Amino acid sequence: MLQILLVDDERSVIETLAETIPWEECGIGIVHEALSGVMALEIIENNDIDIVITDIRMPGMSGIELIATIHERWPQVHSILLSGYSDFEYAKQAIAQESFDYLLKPVSDEDLMDSVKRLVSRIKKKWEAAASYQRALNAFQENLPLLQSMMLNELLTGKSYDQKTLADKLDLLGLPYAEGEELGMLIIRMEEHLSEMADRDLTLMEYAICNIISEVMHNHFHIWHTRDAHDYIVVLVSVRLTSKVSTSTEESPKTLLEHYAAQVQTNVQLYLKGAISILVGNWGKFPYQIGEVYERAVMSMRKRMGQVQGLFVTSSDETDADPLHTIRSLYKPPTLFNLLEAGRFEQAEHKIKQIFGELLHSAENHDIAEPLIEVYHALAGAFAYIIHKNGRQLSAILPSESYRYFQAPSYSTVHQLLDWSIRTLRHIRNDAEQELKDNHSTIVHTVNSFVDLHLATDVSLPAIADHVHLHPVYLSKVYKTESGEALTAYVYRLRMERAAFYLRTSTAKVFEVAKLVGYNNTAYFIRVFKKFYDVTPQEYREHLPD
């Protein structure tokens, strides 16, 4: 409950207000009284006052001067001004001092209570908003390590941000990295009993290993880590600005990182009683080279470490052989699988063109015979997956020339395969849109049947939506899109047409006709009928041709 302070130089006025107004109904728990501005300031000094109601004309300190002082010293305190003078100058001063309300005396209990209730409601909404913000802030702080880990995972799997978005997100997550900065990478594989732990224990072990990394490296490097899809711990490092490491000295960042990585491996064995293999990857510019550095590191883990445990490999140990070019956009999220599942066909077409654009670019310097096969099988697999997931057969959706590619692949040129991919995607899209249209048509038919049968009882939007198991808002949109007429307009039109039919073909009285079409209030029925036909039901019946 809030605390309120009543200020007036007339004791009878504030005593009457204090005793006659049911303050608890207004959300007020404690009522304070003051006979002057000076006394009011003393009370506010010693109590948690929320609202001040003050007269304007008082000897010494006026009400305007009082609220000006209050708003300067206690900006959270709200005010309502009372005045016996309907002078616009006072109203202007009240507005200038951001007073919540300005009421003329003698003010009625109802007007004063209404003003206080509105102010209490505003204060409580501010409290709720502040509490909600604080809860969100607390939740954000609690989940900050997880959010940082998720962002790193996104970057490793190819997600890109524009310059401003990247800077804003790094700032929000408290990550001290900048575009173009050189970053190093460690890939850590947990082994022996560490890799056999349950997921919860594995997370705790990841936390413990990263704590060791931080303890060992924090003087020279910023640490950013995550656990990837292979259950490797991936660690990005950047040189701290306060670090004295210099690339011109023997202890370059690269050399120092390798030294620290070896120390981490030893400490994990010593303190956690488990083995880890570590690969110290290449350095790359943030964020654009991070995905490529990560891919090469994972490939090295697979090729060089195999099942051997407790290994330590550095980028200097890697061969310089140029690997076969990988079509990165083929696997960069959102993948074609994701886009097709979400029905985002325009983005899917853009994705396909992006894949083939990279393939053509690669053809300038690489043999793309095998990447072409890789792209074909990836696209064909995605197309077959979404068609079968929708309960359809390839042969039922695709014309023979497109279906033939699934039976006997033919991808002699990039342009041939691109043309086939776009045509196949558009066949899938057309089928999905037709199926959706058929579904919508069925919904409209079901709705019309329901309304026709229940016109005299309940054809409200919630009742109809419940019948077809759809949300009312979604149902309204589907009905309007498919039929071209709002559902409420259709119900109204049907009622009027049915009423006119009864008036023409039966001797039922007007109130009986009203009930037959769902109106219990005859006067209201007459009014809406006249609005529709420009005549009352009785006039409509009287002017029927013989």
160, amino acid identity: S
Q: In 10 A of CB 245, how many CB atoms?
A: 17
Residue 205 has pLDDT above 90, yes or no: no
Residue 322 or 498, more confident: 498
Q: How far apart are CA 417 and CA 532, in angstroms?
A: 60
Residue 363's pLDDT band (cuts 50, 70, 90): confident
Strand partners, 79: 52
Q: What is the pLDDT of residue 247?
A: 46
Q: Which residues neighbour 80 within 8 Å (Cβ) at sequence distance 6 or greater?
A: 51, 52, 53, 54, 99, 100, 101, 102, 103, 115, 116, 119
Residue 169 has pLDDT above 60, yes or no: yes
Residue 321 has pLDDT above 60, yes or no: no
349: phi then psi, degrees, rounded to nearest 5 = -65, -40
In the chain the domains, ranked by start, together with CATH numbers, are 2-140 (3.40.50.2300), 144-314 (3.30.70.270), 328-435 (no CATH), 443-542 (1.10.10.60)
Residue 156 has pLDDT above 80, yes or no: yes
Residue 92 has pLDDT above 70, yes or no: no
Residue 496 has pLDDT above 60, yes or no: yes
Residue 401's pLDDT band (cuts 50, 70, 90): confident
Q: In 10 A of CB 508, how many CB atoms?
A: 14
3-state SS assignment for residue 508: coil
Residue 89's pLDDT band (cuts 50, 70, 90): low
Residue 248 has pLDDT above 50, yes or no: no
3-state SS assignment for residue 317: helix
- Predicted TM-score of the model (pTM): 0.53
pLDDT above 90 covers a percentage of the chain that reads 40
235: phi then psi, degrees, rounded to nearest 5 = -120, 125
What number is the average pLDDT over the span 273-283?
90
What number is the average pLDDT over the span 333-338?
86
Q: What is the pLDDT of residue 538?
A: 92
Q: What is the pLDDT of residue 132?
A: 80
Strand partners, 278: 188, 312
Residue 95 has pLDDT above 70, yes or no: no
Residue 350 has pLDDT above 60, yes or no: yes
Cα first-last separation, the chain: 74
Q: What is the pLDDT of residue 249?
A: 47
Q: What is the pLDDT of residue 5?
A: 94
Q: What is the pLDDT of residue 429?
A: 93
pLDDT above 70 covers a percentage of the chain that reads 91
Q: How far apart are CA 226 and CA 212, in angstroms?
A: 15
Residue 438's pLDDT band (cuts 50, 70, 90): confident
What number is the average pLDDT over the span 101-122?
84
What number is the average pLDDT over the span 201-206?
82
Q: How far apart are CA 112 and CA 81, in angstroms?
A: 11
Q: What is the mean pLDDT of the chain?
A: 86
Which of 21-35, 234-248, 349-363 has the lowest average pLDDT? 234-248
